[in-house]
Amino acid sequence: MAAIATPQHRSSKTESYVDNKRKEDIRHANIVAARAVANAVRTSLGPKGMDKMISTSSDEVIITNDGATILNKMQVLQPAAKMLVELSKSQDSAAGDGTTTVVVIAGALLEQCLLLLSHGIHPTVVSDSLHKAAVKAVDVLTAMAVPVELSDRDSLVKSASTSLNSKVVSQYSTLLAPLAVDAVLSVVDAAKPDMVDLRDVKIVKKLGGTVDDTELVKGLVFDKKVSHAAGGPTRMENAKIAVIQFQISPPKTDIEQSIVVSDYSQMDRILKEERSYILGMIKKIKATGCNVLLIQKSILRDAVTDLSLHYLAKAKILVIKDVERDEIEFITKTLNCLPIANIEHFRAEKLGYADLVEEVSLGDGKIVKIKGIKEMGKTTTVLVRGSNQLVLDEAERSLHDALCVVRCLVAKRFLIAGGGAPEIELSRQLGAWAKVLHGMEGYCVRAFAEALEVIPYTLAENAGLNPIAIVTELRNRHAQGEINAGINVRKGQITNILEENVVQPLLVSTSAITLATECVRMILKIDDIVTVR
């Protein structure tokens, strides 16, 4: 607080007196709270960043390095701190990676803003200048970027592995990076080449094995067992697959009904009728040549009964039950078939075809794989393995980040160096630009430039290097025109980072800077917290 209470140098030509103590207290409190959040995730930045262990209120333990996940699980209450959490979420949805970076940048910007405010600069002036600086920064970054082609698989793999290197699963980056690239490239739609819908990439987690066993499956994987009732088949070649949304169980009506049984012989008849009813359905199914059934989970009644499973097994039909309704779209898209909602509509043209459907034992559980799908839709499944739940979850998160990185590259085909190189270059160029500007703007832009140095500084610090030595050395190199000089964390020195294959998509960097600036500007403009209903 002491810094705030210092006498202010007003910007106006003449003297004026305004009592703004309360507003400044609120602004100060907001900034301090937001910075506290930023500091909490700071140490997880970069390849040598540390992980956090989070114990949630429901006694669940999560170990992660992903900024968005850490912040999401942190239950912050202070409104400004909440905005930083939102910020990392936005980055997650915009670029998918760089969720820690964006928060660290915002924290550094806020720190600089506090200094500027204490000099008596009006918050809106700071806010406007930050916006200008951010626009300029994006220009600089775009100028630095190297265009990349989707056919250039190497570059894509490099950027995916840069993202993976900072995660728990970094030792598997050689495996996961190409996997992520292949997964995304296989779902790129030729009609819309710059759009990737990550929902077309399904990640199936299965405990057991190691991350090494993670594989990309051309086809479908279900984390389910085949129904084993009455010794039904568990492997089917030349499969004809039907996705059904009706139930193979005794009929149930929507109107309330009761069967009145008056004597013993009728009971027998009812049982027989039930049997013949189900048998009738299964015969119809068999008649189309269908030999694999995927049955949607039903909330109204049993999707299948023991009896129907028994008959299905007799008819040599492989059954996978309890398929969620949300998954139906993905499945039908992959299998290139149509869902069937009524037995009357069970026709051969609605079936999907695959070379092989089989149940595979994995660790202690079993999964079902569908391979060799005919005219397969543009979807992909990744089967993630891990030796324990924590590793498995983190592997999934890391893979998601890597997928996002590749998606960014598909959307905006430019690469930029990693390892703090773009930030220090930005800082240098903006610093030079600040000298050309007049008045408050120049001052604020310089502060912005200084704030960006936090990235290389933190990278070095987390890697156990001397941050000051590294940052000054970096500045020096960049001043000499080596715009791609960055921190090589493995060697602990400064090298040309592009040659080291540490690259990231341009979109990650630009969105980190614009989003962080936008968030900081919003925090700056707040002068009161009002409690409402």
For another protein, the closer of residues 120 and 464 by Cβ is: 120
Q: Which of residues 10-29 bind another protein (CB under 8 A)?
A: 10-16, 18, 23
Contact status, residue 102 vs residue 515, Cβ threshold 8 Å? yes
Take residue 153 and report the two structure tokens written for it.
């698989």
Q: Is 254 in the site for another protein (CB under 8 A)?
A: yes
* Of the candidates 333, 503, 519, 355, the residue with the CA atom closest to the CA atom of residue 418: 503
Q: Kindly write out the interface string for residues 65-84 of this chain, putting x where it contacts another protein by CB under 8 A and - elsewhere.
A: ------------x-xx-xx-
Q: Which of residues 482-521 bind another protein (CB under 8 A)?
A: 514-515, 518-519
Return d(Cα 316, Cα 319) in angstroms, integer: 9
CB of 57 to another protein, least distance (A): 10
Stretch that binds another protein, among 150-158, 325-333, 378-386, 467-475 (CB under 8 A): 325-333
- Whether residue 100 lies in the annotated active site: yes
| Nearest 10 degrees: Cα torsion 452, 136, 141, 187 | 110
**Is beta strand 352-362 parallel, antiparallel or unpaired with respect to 365-373?**
antiparallel
Q: Which of residues 402-461 bind another protein (CB under 8 A)?
A: none
- Whether residue 355 lies in the annotated active site: no
* 303-320 exposure pattern, b = at least 16 Cβ within 10 A, e = fewer: bbbebbbbbbbebebbbb
CB of 299 to another protein, least distance (A): 5
* 76-98 exposure pattern, b = at least 16 Cβ within 10 A, e = fewer: bebebbbbbbebbebbbebbbbb
Return d(Cα 413, Cα 87) in angstroms, integer: 24
- Whether residue 189 lies in the annotated active site: no
Q: Which of residues 118-157 bind another protein (CB under 8 A)?
A: 122-124, 128, 131
Contact status, residue 83 vs residue 394, Cβ threshold 8 Å? no
Options 21, 235, 269, 490; binder of another protein; rule CB under 8 A? 269
CB of 82 to another protein, least distance (A): 5
Options 31, 41, 71, 87; binder of another protein; rule CB under 8 A? 87
- Whether residue 64 lies in the annotated active site: no
Q: Which of residues 91-110 bind another protein (CB under 8 A)?
A: 93-94
Sign of CA dihedral 274, 279, 284, 290: positive
CB of 197 to another protein, least distance (A): 7
Options 339, 352, 386, 419; binder of another protein; rule CB under 8 A? 339
Q: Which of 43, 64, 99, 514 is catalytic?
A: 99
Q: Which of residues 288-307 bind another protein (CB under 8 A)?
A: 296, 299-300
Q: Which of residues 181-240 bind another protein (CB under 8 A)?
A: 192, 195, 197-198
CB of 94 to another protein, least distance (A): 5
Contact status, residue 326 vs residue 234, Cβ threshold 8 Å? no
Residue 366, Cβ density class (10 Å: 0-12 exposed, 13-18 middle, ≥19 buried)? middle
CB of 311 to another protein, least distance (A): 15
Options 253, 265, 361, 480; binder of another protein; rule CB under 8 A? 253
Residue indicated by tokens 């941050």: 467
For another protein, the closer of residues 243 and 395 by Cβ is: 243
Return d(Cα 459, Cα 186) in angstroms, integer: 34
CB of 79 to another protein, least distance (A): 4
For another protein, the closer of residues 246 and 433 by Cβ is: 246
Q: Which of 43, 64, 69, 100 is catalytic?
A: 100
Contact status, residue 37 vs residue 71, Cβ threshold 8 Å? yes
Which residues does the annotation mark as catalytic?
A: 66, 99-100, 401
